[in-house]
Amino acid sequence: MDLATKEESSTDAASELQRQLRGGRFVVTAELTPPVSSDPAEFIDQALALRGLATAVNVTDGAGSRAHLSSLAASHFLMRNGIEPILQLTCRDRNRIALQGELLGAAALGIRNVLALRGDDPKTGDQPDTKAVFDLDTTGLLAMAHRMRSEHRLPSGTEIKGVLKFVLGAAEIPVDPPAGWRPDGLLSKADAGADFIQTQFCMDAGVVRRYAARLLDLGIAQRLPILIGVAPIPSVRSARWMKEKLYGALIPEDIVTRLERAADSKSEGKKICIELMRELAETPGIAGAHVMAPQNHAALAEVIADSGVRGRKRAPAKHP
């Protein structure tokens, strides 16, 4: 894409997130979990600390298979306070009719960014007898939302009235690619209509470089922006749990050792996260960082601000 085309595509972007991604800037997103409360005040306060720092803020949807204030309502509160949300929608909790209704509701509220997710197994949550739906998988949800925005019709053929502009995202797990590796799942999501990808925690800069290089070789990173998941890990205990228990998370042993040896592990965890974010900003094929800090939301604004990477021009992509 030449400069003139890139600038033109940035001006007609559906959201600020899309504008920044199309403009070749290094994007930083963050993530918040709505409260188990009908009062959004504390949630809004947490989000306000990120205003002007994160390009957009993910609003989780039943994370850990636990109930909380609806992601749609919480996203609306962010919009009202000048913060761009990324609405997470899981396939676990709704059939396709309910998902269509949720997408229309998001459009009516001016919410543009949507992250399609499978959703955690209910057996891992605090109500293990819950029945999961899974009428659609993630690729099916993406394809349905893409068809709705492109054709302005429901899958039934019914016309959709009004503005319907979505920026569709999906999740992925980075890998250290072996010889001949192809990211079939990622390709399926791209073909289904994904506009960006946010990954699981990957705190290994070497793995990210090799992963990004392979995606560049395949021509994928040039057309599908990848945001790598990072965290200001607050303790050795948290690092070991993530390393051993959190599916898909890549936490190298040297990070565990650094936290173990540090006089102040919380401060060291922030330092590690900042260092990694700066490395990501210099890595060709990486479009941004997605910063998550469950149970440690106060650290989000600090690491984003101190990293100084948001809005930088991205490292040039090497075309295959």
Alpha-carbon distances, residue 292 vs 11, 24, 213 (angstroms): 29, 23, 24
Longest dimension (CA), the chain: 62
Please report the pLDDT score of residue 318 as a whole number: 61
pLDDT digits (tens, 9 = 90+) for 72-93: 999 999 999 999 999 999 999 9
Assess contact for 71 and 89: CB atoms under 8 A.
yes
Cα three-residue angle 170-165-319, rounded to 5 degrees: 50
Mean pLDDT across the stretch 110-115?
98
pLDDT digits (tens, 9 = 90+) for 203-248: 999 999 999 999 999 999 999 999 999 999 999 999 999 999 999 9
Assess contact for 285 and 212: CB atoms under 8 A.
yes
C-alpha closest to that of 116 among 175, 56, 189: 189
Within-domain flag for 262: yes
Look up residue 153 and give its DSSP letter: B
Two structure tokens written together for 271:
């330092």
Please report the pLDDT score of residue 278 as a whole number: 98
Assess contact for 68 and 88: CB atoms under 8 A.
no
Within-domain flag for 255: yes
CA atoms within 13 Å, Cβ hemisphere of 15: 28
Within-domain flag for 9: yes
Two structure tokens written together for 57:
């803020």
Mean pLDDT across the stretch 104-118?
98
Within-domain flag for 201: yes
Instruction: Give the chain's domain count.
Output: 1
- Report the 3 state secondary structure along 1-44: CCHHHHHHHHHCCCCHHHHHHHCCECEEEEEECCCCCCCCHHHH
CA atoms within 13 Å, Cβ hemisphere of 54: 31
Within-domain flag for 312: no
Amino acid present at 1: M
Amino acid present at 292: M
Which residue segment(s) compose the domain that 173 sits in? 3-307
Residue 5 has pLDDT above 90, yes or no: no
Within-domain flag for 317: no
pTM of the model: 0.94
Residue 282 has pLDDT above 50, yes or no: yes
- Collapsing DSSP states into helix, strand and coil, what is residue 28? strand
Please report the pLDDT score of residue 295 as a whole number: 79
Please report the pLDDT score of residue 243 as a whole number: 95
pLDDT digits (tens, 9 = 90+) for 18-28: 999 999 999 99
Q: How far is it, in rounded angstroms, from Cα 10 to Cα 18?
A: 7
Confidence category of residue 10, pLDDT binned at 50, 70, 90: low
- Which residues are CB-neighbours of 100 under 8 A, at least 6 positions away? 144, 148, 154, 155
Q: How far is it, in rounded angstroms, from Cα 171 to Cα 292?
A: 13
Percentage of residues in the chain with pLDDT exceeding 90?
A: 92
**Among 63-67, 185-189, 289-293, where is mean pLDDT lowest?**
63-67
| Sole residue written with tokens 């993406």 | 142
Within-domain flag for 109: yes
Within-domain flag for 148: yes
- Which residues are CB-neighbours of 9 under 8 A, at least 6 positions away? 1, 22
Q: How far is it, in rounded angstroms, from Cα 59 to Cα 230?
A: 16
Please report the pLDDT score of residue 316 as a whole number: 84
CATH code for position 42:
3.20.20.220
Assess contact for 58 and 29: CB atoms under 8 A.
yes
Kindly state the helix (H) or strand (E) to which residue 115 belongs, with its residue range. Answer: strand 113-117
